[in-house]
Amino acid sequence: VTAAWPLPSDDDVAFYEEHGWWVSPPLVPPELLAACNEAMDRVWSGHFDLGEAPNGYFNPGDDPGAIRKANNGWRATRAIRDLVFHAPIAACAARLLQCESIRLWEDQILDKPTGGDPSASVGWHTDWTYWGGSVAEPRMITAWVPYQDVNPTNGTLQFVDKSHRARIGDGSDFLATDRDAQLERILGEGGGDVVDVDMRAGQVSFHSPMLLHGSGPNLGPSARRATAVHLMDGALRSARRGETQHYNLDLLEAGGLRVGDAFELDQWPVLYPAP
């Protein structure tokens, strides 16, 4: 069976393993991105067409220059749900992670207002900093889906190339705004190669949970919007380690599973093989 979209080739998988990231050809149709854009407007105004508020949604009165972010938009609106379930995304993730099945871990909807405010930036961090206390292994991957073209001007995603091999943990902070100083603190003298991902709307970038990444302020003409679809190997087991746990661990136990079990509840739907 040939897929209706281009899956990562063996060379692409090797690139992902070496660099810790990979950018796909166009995978998401413009109509779906337009629907997500409208859905994000509705979420920020407090309207959830699937009935459930995402967690941490923006409140009117919050700093208008700062980044707006909410988790699990797929439970709040049909359009974001369609994006999270868009089959090519999880199919590419399965190829890159080389696993049999993919489940959703969570999504994040992200809106970076224009105006250049440093509080719209995203500090350097690894996703593992936030997830590693709750899962057994880093068999996870993020698919980042911008709703419009992205470039260094409008605050595209930035990766420290190959940093997934460096096991960087300390100093990772999504909320940091002193990004240059932060990067120096984390990487020390030698520094690292920062890659600004330049993408056309419809492309998807994938990164390892161990890869250091962040994004700068938005100096473009309009908001820079994206959904990060955080995915895991469907067989990944939960664990409890260190001091901080992700809220998914509480949800797993509240759903009647035990720490050590895989995340086999509707909260974490199987996205590949496509349902």
Ligand X SMILES: O=C(O)CCC(=O)C(=O)O
Enumerate binding residues for ligand X (CB under 6 A).
110, 122, 127, 142, 144, 157, 213, 215, 226, 228
The C-alpha angle 101, 103, 108, rounded to 5 degrees, equals 145
Tell me whether residue 56 or residue 260 sits nearer to ligand X (CB atom).
56
Work out the end-to-end distance of the chain between its first and last CA atoms, rounded to an integer number of angstroms. Answer: 17
User: By the 8 A CB rule, do 112 and 63 touch?
Assistant: no
CB 67 within 8 A of CB 177: no
**How far is residue 46's CA from residue 11's CA, in Å, rounded to a whole number?**
44
- Shortest distance, CB of residue 218 to ligand X, whole angstroms? 10
Tokens linked to 68: 């707006």
In the complex, what is the shortest distance from the CB of residue 108 to ligand X, in angstroms, rounded to a whole number? 7
Residues 209/126, Cβ–Cβ less than 8 Å: yes
Task: Please choose, from the candidates 194, 96, 85, the residue with its C-alpha nearest in 3D space to the C-alpha of residue 140.
Answer: 96
For residue 251, the minimal CB distance to ligand X (Å) is: 20
Residue number, 105 or 268, with CB nearest to ligand X: 105
Query: Exposed (0-12), middle (13-18) or buried (19+): which is 250, by Cβ within 10 Å?
Result: exposed
Min separation Cβ 2 and ligand X, Å: 30
Nearest distance from residue 265's CB to ligand X, in Å?
A: 23
CB of 216 to ligand X, least distance (A): 9
Q: Which is nearer to ligand X, 157 or 232 (CB)?
A: 157
Nearest CB to ligand X, comparing residues 100 and 247: 247
Closest CB to ligand X among residues 155, 259: 155
Give me the helices (H) in the chain, please. Answer: 10-19, 30-44, 78-84, 87-97, 128-131, 179-187, 247-254
Closer CB to ligand X, 226 or 249, in the complex: 226
Separation of alpha carbons 196 and 146, rounded Å: 13
Identity of the residue, 86 or 257, whose beta carbon is nearer to ligand X in the bound complex: 86
Is beta strand 140-146 parallel, antiparallel or unpaired with respect to 157-160? unpaired
Smallest separation (angstroms) from ligand X to the CB of 11: 24
User: In the bound complex, what is the minimum distance in angstroms from residue 235's beta carbon to ligand X?
Assistant: 22
Phi, then psi, of 80 in degrees rounded to 5: -70, -35
81 or 213, CB closer to ligand X?
213
Count CB-CB contacts under 10 A for residue 181. Answer: 10
